[in-house]
Amino acid sequence: MMPTALHALSVQPSVAIAGDVRLSSAAATTRAKSLPTCASKALPLMSLVRAAVSSLARPSAQRQIDLDIQPEHATLRPPVQPEPIAHALLNLLSNACRYSSSESRIRVRSSLQWADGAQHVVLTVCDRGIGMSRSHQQRAFEAYWQGPGVNAGPGRGLGLSVARELTDAQGGWLELRSALGIGTEVDLWLPMPLSAGRSA
């Protein structure tokens, strides 16, 4: 099915969207324990996504990011603290940029899914980079582990580990799919009240 709400963005680092959470460009490598406690109310899904995209550090900030956020999902408000989830999404985007060529595009798409008898909104970060073997996928969420073929730039091997910790703390989880030479997709699952999905 063709996307109905595709937005191509080429953004600068540390650009804050009015009313959104603000993240520093260094957030992708910041440990979870250094995040300030966020008492902000739930934000619309699109605001969370834009906050993460706008916080990408150079050179990732110059990458083409396609936002395939369905109109009926854009205004949904997952009952989570916005800053940790935006940080988790930022880590996923940073990894996607790091493990793919500068000419390839990164895509973020949304969907509503059921799991464990409950409704969830799912954000999927897709890249068409080097991908991972099955053995590497088994280690992808290990702290300080880095796969081969990393693009230039410092890295600590904490991106996926921190993203999973932050997402788990908000009642969600991450799922990863990858194939060598094809690319990687990571799903970020967030709980969603049933009434919100029905009203969208």
Which three-class secondary structure string do you get for 111-127? EEEEECCEEEEEEEEEE
Q: Looking at this protein, which amino acid is placed at residue 9?
A: L
End-to-end CA, the chain: 19
Query: What's the pLDDT at 157?
Result: 65
pTM over 0.85: no
- Dig out the tokens for 39 from the structure: 């008492």
Q: How far apart are CA 92 and CA 132, in angstroms?
A: 15
Q: Sign (positive/negative) of CA torsion 179, 89, 143, 26?
A: positive
* Average pLDDT value over all residues in the chain: 77
Does pLDDT of 119 surpass 90? yes
* Overall average pLDDT of the 68-86 stretch: 96
Query: What's the pLDDT at 140?
Result: 84
Q: Flag the least confident range among 31-35, 45-49, 147-151, 167-171.
A: 31-35
Q: How far apart are CA 101 and CA 150, in angstroms?
A: 10
Half-sphere exposure of 188 (CA within 13 A, CB side): 31
Q: Using one digit for the tens of pLDDT, what is the confidence trace for 129-181?
A: 999 889 888 888 888 777 665 544 555 667 899 999 999 999 999 999 999 99
